[in-house]
Amino acid sequence: MSAPAALRLPKGSRIRRSSEVRRTLDRGRSSASGPVVVYAYDRADGRPPRYALVVGRRWGDAVTRNRQRRLLRESFRTSRPELPPGFDFALLPRSPFAQERMASVRASLVVAVARAVARFRAEGQGTPRPRP
């Protein structure tokens, strides 16, 4: 059984270029809710939202990190119709949440996205920190 067309994650919904992920992290605005941190960057093109997952080794072994990625990806997929178009989102875990349930991660993601988008619209682009 396949997912309805509105809930599918097309190939173009993922941010693929590292420069675009870096732009979202450097110039975007962040917000956290529960176990999720979201960075939002407005592309201003009106196309569907895109996402990038940033789950580093500090969050545990490969099994744990992959579970976190799956939870974040599924949360994004199911909440995508509610998210504002034209934005890139970088999704990061705030704490190890391998024991979290899908519903709580999704609710946290929706709240964090709304706050990050509101911050971006109010404050505009951020200023990137100099790289060492």
Burial (CB count within 10 angstroms: exposed 0-12, middle 13-18, buried 19+), residue 34:
middle
Domains with residue ranges and CATH for the chain: 13-121 (3.30.230.10)
Q: Determine the pLDDT at residue 91.
A: 95
pTM for the full predicted model: 0.87
Half-sphere exposure of 131 (CA within 13 A, CB side): 3
Q: Determine the pLDDT at residue 4.
A: 62
Q: Determine the pLDDT at residue 98.
A: 64
Q: Determine the pLDDT at residue 46.
A: 86
Largest CA distance in the chain: 49
Q: Determine the pLDDT at residue 5.
A: 61
Q: Determine the pLDDT at residue 123.
A: 87
Q: Determine the pLDDT at residue 2.
A: 55
| Mean pLDDT by groups of 10 residues along the chain of 132 residues | 64 89 92 92 90 89 89 91 93 79 90 94 80 65
Question: In this predicted model, what pLDDT tens digit does every residue of 71-106 receive, in sequence order?
Answer: 999 999 999 999 999 999 999 998 767 677 888 889
Q: Determine the pLDDT at residue 102.
A: 85
What's the rounded Cα separation, in Å, for the pair 92 and 108?
A: 12
